[in-house]
Amino acid sequence: MGGFAFIIILFGNLLLLLLKPCSTLPLCTDSTFPVKANTTLTFCSSYNGTASCCDSAEDLNLQTQFQSMNISNPGCAAIVKSILCAKCDPFSAELFTVKSTARTVPVLCNSTVSANSTQTNQASDNFCAKVWNQCSNVSIMNSPFATGQPSTSKSTELTNFWQSQSGFCNTFGGASLDDSVCYDGAQVTLNNTGTNLSFPSGMCLEQISNGSYMNMVPHPDGSSRAFFANPQGQIWLANIPEQGSGGTIQLESSVPFLDLSNYVYYDTELGLTGIAPHPNFLQNGRFFAAFNCDKASWPGCVGRCSCNSAINCDPSNLPALSGGQPCQYQSVIAEYSANGTTSNISSATSANPTEVRRIFTMGLPFTNHHAGQILFGPADGYLYFMMGDGGGTGDPYNFAQNKKTLLGKIMRFDVDTIPSAAEINQLGLWGNYSIPSDNPYYEDSSLLPEIWALGFRNPWRCSFDSLKPSYFMCGDVGQEVYEEVDLITRGGNYGWRVYEGPYLYTPPTSPGGNTSANSIRGIFPVMGYNHSSVNKQENAASVTGGYFYRSTTDPCMYGSYVYADLYGAAFWAGIENPEDSGIFNQSLMQFTCAADSPIKCTFVNGSSYPTLGYVLSLAEDNNKDIYLITSSGVYRIVAPSRCSYTCSKETVTPSSPSPTSTPSSRTSRLSLRENAILLCASLVLILLGFF
How much is the average pLDDT of 577-593?
91
SS (H, E, C) 479-538: CCCEEEEEECCCCCECCCCCEECCEECCCCCCCCCCCCHHHCCECCCCEEEEHHHCCCHH
125 — pLDDT class (breaks 50, 70, 90)? low
Residue 353 has pLDDT above 50, yes or no: yes
In this structure, the answer to whether residues 151 and 55 fall within a common structural domain is yes
Residue 93 has pLDDT above 70, yes or no: yes
How much is the average pLDDT of 613-639?
98
Amino acid at 115: A
pLDDT for 412 = 98
Residue 690 has pLDDT above 50, yes or no: no
* pLDDT tens per residue across span 624-633: 999 999 999 9
pLDDT for 193 = 57
In this structure, the answer to whether residues 499 and 611 fall within a common structural domain is yes
Confirm whether 179 is domain-assigned.
Answer: no
Contact 554, 640 (CB under 8 A): yes
Confirm whether 443 is domain-assigned.
Answer: yes
In this structure, the answer to whether residues 148 and 220 fall within a common structural domain is no
Contact 572, 527 (CB under 8 A): yes
Omega before 669 within 30 of 0, i.e. cis: no
To the nearest 10 degrees (0 to 180), the angle between helices 165-172 and 127-135 is 130
Omega before 578 within 30 of 0, i.e. cis: yes
339 — pLDDT class (breaks 50, 70, 90)? confident
In this structure, the answer to whether residues 462 and 610 fall within a common structural domain is yes
In this structure, the answer to whether residues 376 and 488 fall within a common structural domain is yes
In this structure, the answer to whether residues 580 and 442 fall within a common structural domain is yes
* pLDDT tens per residue across span 641-675: 999 999 999 988 765 444 444 444 333 334 444 44
How much is the average pLDDT of 328-336?
97
pLDDT for 176 = 65
pLDDT for 14 = 36
Give which of 477, 240, 468, 462 is closest to 373, Cα–Cα. Answer: 462
Contact 356, 379 (CB under 8 A): no
Residues 6+ apart with CB under 8 A from 544: 460, 461, 475, 563, 564, 565, 566, 615, 616, 617, 618
To the nearest 10 degrees (0 to 180), the angle between helices 56-67 and 74-85 is 150
Residue 25 has pLDDT above 90, yes or no: no
Residue with the larger pLDDT of the pair 23 and 250: 250
Residue with the larger pLDDT of the pair 454 and 182: 454
How much is the average pLDDT of 413-419?
97
**Lowest-pLDDT range, 189-198, 307-316, 401-410, 596-605?**
189-198
How much is the average pLDDT of 451-472?
96
492 — pLDDT class (breaks 50, 70, 90)? very high
* Backbone φ/ψ region at 610: left (φ over 0), alpha (ψ -120 to 50), beta: beta
**Lowest-pLDDT range, 240-244, 312-316, 484-488?**
312-316
pLDDT for 8 = 36
pLDDT for 541 = 87
In this structure, the answer to whether residues 208 and 170 fall within a common structural domain is no
Residue 362 has pLDDT above 90, yes or no: yes
Confirm whether 681 is domain-assigned.
Answer: no
Contact 485, 574 (CB under 8 A): yes
Residue with the larger pLDDT of the pair 518 and 659: 518
In this structure, the answer to whether residues 216 and 152 fall within a common structural domain is no
pLDDT for 7 = 38
Exposed / middle / buried, residue 40 (Cβ in 10 Å: 0-12, 13-18, 19+): exposed
How much is the average pLDDT of 283-311?
94
pLDDT for 124 = 46
9 — pLDDT class (breaks 50, 70, 90)? very low
Residue 53: what are its φ and ψ, rounded to 5°? -100, 15
pLDDT for 469 = 93
pLDDT for 103 = 87
In this structure, the answer to whether residues 213 and 278 fall within a common structural domain is yes
How confident is the prediction for the chain on average, in pLDDT?
Answer: 85
Please say which residue of 154, 174, 194 terminates a domain: 174
pLDDT for 19 = 31
Confirm whether 601 is domain-assigned.
Answer: yes
In this structure, the answer to whether residues 387 and 254 fall within a common structural domain is yes
* pLDDT tens per residue across span 179-227: 568 899 988 876 555 667 889 999 999 999 999 999 999 999 999 999 9
Confirm whether 496 is domain-assigned.
Answer: yes
443 — pLDDT class (breaks 50, 70, 90)? confident
Dist. CA 304–CA 564, nearest whole Å: 35
How much is the average pLDDT of 234-263?
96
Confirm whether 502 is domain-assigned.
Answer: yes
- Rg value, the chain, Cα: 27
Dist. CA 405–CA 441, nearest whole Å: 13
**Lowest-pLDDT range, 192-201, 298-307, 575-584?**
192-201
pLDDT for 662 = 43
589 — pLDDT class (breaks 50, 70, 90)? very high
Compute the half-sphere exposure of residue 201: CA atoms within 13 Å on the CB side of its CA: 13
Element (H, E) at 132: helix 127-135
Residue 70 has pLDDT above 60, yes or no: yes
In this structure, the answer to whether residues 212 and 110 fall within a common structural domain is no
* pLDDT tens per residue across span 134-178: 999 999 998 998 865 544 455 688 988 888 998 899 889 887 664
**Beta-carbon neighbour count of residue 313 at 10 Å?**
23
Dist. CA 529–CA 217, nearest whole Å: 27
Tell whether the torsion through CA atoms of 276, 282, 285 and 286 is positive or negative: negative
CA angle 396, 528, 563 (to 5 degrees): 110
How much is the average pLDDT of 256-267?
97
Confirm whether 288 is domain-assigned.
Answer: yes
Amino acid at 364: L
Confirm whether 182 is domain-assigned.
Answer: no
Residue 113 has pLDDT above 70, yes or no: no
pLDDT for 562 = 98
SS (H, E, C) 292-314: EEECCCCCCCCCCECCCHHHCCC
pLDDT for 147 = 66
- State which residues form the domain around 144: 34-174
Dist. CA 428–CA 561, nearest whole Å: 38
In this structure, the answer to whether residues 354 and 245 fall within a common structural domain is yes
Give which of 382, 385, 255, 395 is closest to 688, Cα–Cα. Answer: 382
Domain count, the chain: 2
Looking up residue 523, the CATH number of its domain turns out to be 2.120.10.30
**Lowest-pLDDT range, 91-105, 159-173, 616-630?**
91-105
Give which of 158, 151, 156, 157 is closest to 128, Cα–Cα. Answer: 158
Dist. CA 365–CA 371, nearest whole Å: 13
